[in-house]
Every structure is written in C-alpha cells, then in structure tokens.
Amino acid sequence: MAKLVLIRHGQSAWNLSNQFTGWVDVDLSEKGVEEAQHAGELLKQSGIEFDQAYTSVLTRAIKTLHYALEGCGQLWIPEMKSWRLNERHYGALQGLNKKETADKYGAEQVHIWRRSYDVLPPLLKATDEGSAAKDRRYADLDPRIIPGGENLKVTLERVIPFWEDHIAPDLIAGKNVIIAAHGNSLRALTKYIENISDADIMNLEMATGEPVVYDFNKHLEVQSKTKLD
C-alpha cells in the first residue's frame, strides 16, 4: 500500500516576525530547523522507505525536506521541485506585519483575506516591486500564469495538475512519496484528498514540522491517515 507523507515547512524567519510571506523566499528560523530535524527523527522511527520527494521552489520548504530526509537517512532519493507546490501568493500583503495590517484595515478584513476560500488579497502588478515576474526561478513560465495574488481556491487549481501529473501516478505505481511544502498548498492538497468542503477547509490547520501519513490503495482511495508524533 502506497504511503504519502505531507510536511509543512518548519517555522520561517517571517513566521517568527509575524509577516505575510507567500512567494517571498525567506529562510527557516532556528526553531524551524529544529522542527524539520525532529520531523526526520519521526520519519526514521516510522521506518517508511521513500521512493520520491517533492517540494516547492522556496528555500524554507526545500531545507525542511532535506533536513527531514537526512534525519531518516534518505537524502539520496529522487527529488522534484515545482512552483505549483509554492505557498499561496499573498499579493500586496507580502512583507507586511499581520498585526499592523489588522490595525490598519481591521481584523475582520484581514481575517477575510487570510481565511476566505475564494476572496483574493490586494494584488501585485507584474511591474510592482517584489513581483514574482521578476524572479529568475519563474522565468520559464508563461507570464500570464504568474499570480499577483491568490486565495485558497486558486492555490488548489494550480496544485491539482501537479498532483494528477506526478504525485498520483507515483502512488498508483505503489511508490512511497514525501512532500515538504507550505501551509496553504498542503491544505489545498488535503482538501482534494479528503474531499473537504469549502467551508470546512478554512478551519484546517497544518502544524509546522509534523508529518502526516496517508495510506492509499491502488485506486487512490485513502485507507488511513496518521499523524506522527
């Protein structure tokens, strides 16, 4: 039975400073490194042997994957990075302090921007400072698909093609897969895997550095879900 392990990256420097991060490429904090290493210890104890790893193109997720795989002695396995596993793009909110933004716009409005399934944040233009359109890691993408901001619905729409093209075929082939990504890209995947409603998904929290294990049969039906702790 194929296993899929999801790990949200450890605490980042901007998690620590309470800033909207999104596609901004920030590093792990000291605590984030410890969380990623602890995830590796849990995976080692579980005895899961992986065949394929996936992560985003953002440093905090990549490093979390590497710390976790190193901890369980599997740093050598094949790895693929994709922008489709990036965190949700927070648009013009990126870099802003969350408390200061709530003080300026109101806590209710910020809650809507952060937690609504289909409401977009204020958008960045391709010409704005900090736009992903200026980042070399996205140079091969059609500029029309580089977001200026996303909600969870849009995040799900860009994650699912990657699931269908890469992750699902691996699981159908019986491979054990590990994904280290972000709170919202993993929430989007979880919504799809567990068929969670639009309303209920907004209450799902993905804890940093805590592996979640799914067992799948060959028809990609979830047989069990386990949190390693």
State the catalytic residues: 9, 87
Quick one: angle between helices 107-115 and 98-105, nearest 10?
120
Helix ranges, 80-151 (H): 98-105, 107-115
Q: Which two tokens stand for residue 49?
A: 């042997």
Q: Which two tokens stand for residue 149?
A: 């901001």
Cα–Cα distance, 1 to 94 (Å, whole number): 40
Asked if 39 contacts 8 with a C-beta cutoff of 8 angstroms, the reply is no
At residue 212, the 3 state secondary structure works out as strand
